[in-house]
Amino acid sequence: MQNYWIALVAGAFLWAQNLSIRFIDPVFNRIRVVDSIKYGHNLSFTQAPVDLLFDLYEPEGDTMAKRPVIILIHAGSFLPASIASSAFGRSPIGTRKDSGIVALCREFARRGYVAISADHRVGWNAQATTQEARAQSIIQAVWRAMQDGRALVRFLRKDAATTNQFRIDPDRIVMGGSSSGAYVGLHVAYLNLPQELSLPKFQTSGGQPFVDTTAVGMDRGSGPEAGPNAFEGGSGNPGYPSHIQAVLNLGGAVGDTAFIQNEGIPVVSLHGVQDPSTPYTNGVVVTAVGNYPIIEVFGSHDLTANLLQKGNQSALLPDYAGDVPFPGLYPFHGAGFEPFGWYSSSTPADIARARRYIDTILSFACPRLFKILNLPTILSSIEVPTEEQSDFVLFPSPAQEPVLSISHPFLHFNRLELYTPLGTRIAAVVMPSPRSSYVWELPASLPKGIYILHVHTSKGVFCKRWVYTGS
């Protein structure tokens, strides 16, 4: 029996060297990009006809028949890209080519998702002279973008039911994005009832709703592509469901927590606590130029507290009950607007810093989306540099106490995950900043056995065998 146990340990070590888990780790090296796919059509803010486009990122050579989808939408305060660039003083912003969104799409595709960077209709009267007029105009912009988001979800389900060109799983669709892009995903998830548009904060002083659901371009549309109702909109692909399974909220907010019922749609949020664009808690959003007040919204902290109270975060429990301050919420302390983005004026140091934030987003979001979507555990092999792999020092192993120390002479890491050989995750820890050494105190209740430690670095995920014998 003893010799068998030793052989099992040796076998686990060899098998674990190049082992990773699809949807959590980057198991694909090459990505295929399909640019400018049309998913719909509607009238813009100026009543001009506009085609609605997205770019698709998928793992090259993937043979999986049904793959989860993540739709990511850019920031830009619902302004046209040229105006957004001028308002924020940075470029590119306000398009589906935004650096941070593209980088996230590539990374999710490397993990086995079909990732989409999408545009939507933009435009509102940010120069209106009264707060009421500004509020009405931006709520209408959110409404149009929400209708477009739903048309995109319907487009994907239509494809799955007909040509199946993209091989997506229609029951595993995530939508979200950065700042105003996250607003779109949140309102696709939670703005569903006509009475929600009748809240006093969404009405004029004369008692009229901000959103006229009969107005051209904001209604159900007309002709063969007419949507079934105004909430679905007339941007195309009628007859298919537009609900989503989860939201990835990167610095977004919801117009009012009264929108939230018990929809059963969890949200994974990461938000800069000092974000001047969208409040982390709640507050009045201001214009990007001039700081003129618009309307009160509820950012990730207050949003998640409400979601938890109403049962929407239950899919994250009990595994992520320890998230602070709430399950599914990661605050970027000391960070502001879109810390994971970079622009034409960014220095190499700025870009490196932004990429570290992207690593944190992936490290936090991927395991939680894995659980929310109930994704299958698919073990994959990945290529890792042998020299760098062997340079990791893991001590002690075997260990008599549930404590392990890991270090590397030059590679930095920001996340550790501990798995059983069969792929069940036992524990995870995210560091506030990347480091080359760490002492991890694991739960005292950790069962004895053989474990696989996943070390997340800028050069990929490295796997090391660790044995815990207990005292």
What is the C-alpha separation between 137 and 277, in angstroms, rounded? 17
- pLDDT of the residue at 422: 66
377, part of any domain? no
Task: For tokens 């830009």, name the residue.
Answer: 76
Between 386 and 77, where is the model more confident? 77
> pLDDT band at 433, cuts 50/70/90?
confident
* Res. 276: pLDDT tops 50: yes
Percent of the chain with pLDDT over 70: 94
* Res. 380: pLDDT tops 80: no
* Res. 379: pLDDT tops 80: no
Q: Indicate if 304 and 165 belong to the same structural domain.
A: yes
Range 228-252 average pLDDT:
96
Q: Indicate if 365 and 228 belong to the same structural domain.
A: yes
378, part of any domain? no
436, part of any domain? yes
Range 430-458 average pLDDT:
90
pLDDT 10s digits, 92-136: 899 999 999 999 999 999 999 999 999 999 999 999 999 999 999
Q: Indicate if 119 and 191 belong to the same structural domain.
A: yes
Q: Indicate if 214 and 302 belong to the same structural domain.
A: yes
| Six-digit token string for 386 | 């042998």
Lowest-confidence region among 4-18, 138-152, 396-410: 4-18
Q: Indicate if 360 and 389 belong to the same structural domain.
A: no
Q: What is the DSSP letter of 447?
A: P
DSSP element (H, E) containing 160: helix 131-161
53, part of any domain? yes
Q: Do 168 and 116 form a contact (C-beta atoms < 8 A)? A: no
23, part of any domain? no
* Res. 383: pLDDT tops 60: no
pLDDT 10s digits, 77-87: 999 998 988 88
Q: Which residues contact 356 (CB under 8 A, 6 or more apart)?
A: 414, 433, 434, 458
- pLDDT of the residue at 11: 35
DSSP element (H, E) containing 360: helix 348-372
C-beta neighbour count of 440 within 10 angstroms: 16
DSSP element (H, E) containing 59: strand 49-59
Lowest-confidence region among 19-28, 301-310, 415-424: 415-424
The phi, psi pair for 232, rounded to 5°, reads -75, -35
Q: Indicate if 396 and 444 belong to the same structural domain.
A: yes
Q: Indicate if 345 and 388 belong to the same structural domain.
A: no
> pLDDT band at 389, cuts 50/70/90?
low
Domain boundary among 347, 372, 397: 372
- pLDDT of the residue at 3: 36
- pLDDT of the residue at 7: 32
What is the C-alpha separation between 256 and 296, in angstroms, rounded? 8
Indicate which CATH number applies to the domain containing 193.
3.40.50.1820
Q: Indicate if 310 and 426 belong to the same structural domain.
A: no
pLDDT 10s digits, 260-275: 999 999 999 999 999 9
Q: Indicate if 418 and 447 belong to the same structural domain.
A: yes
Between 380 and 321, where is the model more confident? 321
Q: Indicate if 242 and 345 belong to the same structural domain.
A: yes
Q: Indicate if 6 and 32 belong to the same structural domain.
A: no
Percent of the chain with pLDDT over 90: 76
- pLDDT of the residue at 222: 86
Mean pLDDT, the chain, as a whole number? 90
202, part of any domain? yes
C-beta neighbour count of 142 within 10 angstroms: 23
> pLDDT band at 228, cuts 50/70/90?
confident
- pLDDT of the residue at 85: 86
Domain boundary among 372, 393, 425: 372
Q: Do 416 and 394 form a contact (C-beta atoms < 8 A)? A: no
Number of domains in the chain: 2
pLDDT 10s digits, 158-205: 999 999 999 999 999 999 999 999 999 999 999 999 999 999 999 999
Indicate which CATH number applies to the domain containing 401.
2.60.40.3080
90, part of any domain? yes
Q: Indicate if 291 and 353 belong to the same structural domain.
A: yes
- pLDDT of the residue at 315: 97
> pLDDT band at 10, cuts 50/70/90?
very low
- pLDDT of the residue at 381: 59
- pLDDT of the residue at 325: 97
Range 419-428 average pLDDT:
81
Domain boundary among 350, 372, 394: 372
290 three-class SS: coil
What is the C-alpha separation between 437 and 320, in angstroms, rounded? 25
pLDDT 10s digits, 334-359: 999 999 999 999 999 999 999 999 99
C-alpha distances (whole Å) from 290 to each of 88, 96, 216, 379 are 11, 26, 31, 52
- pLDDT of the residue at 201: 95
Domain region containing 426:
2-18+383-468
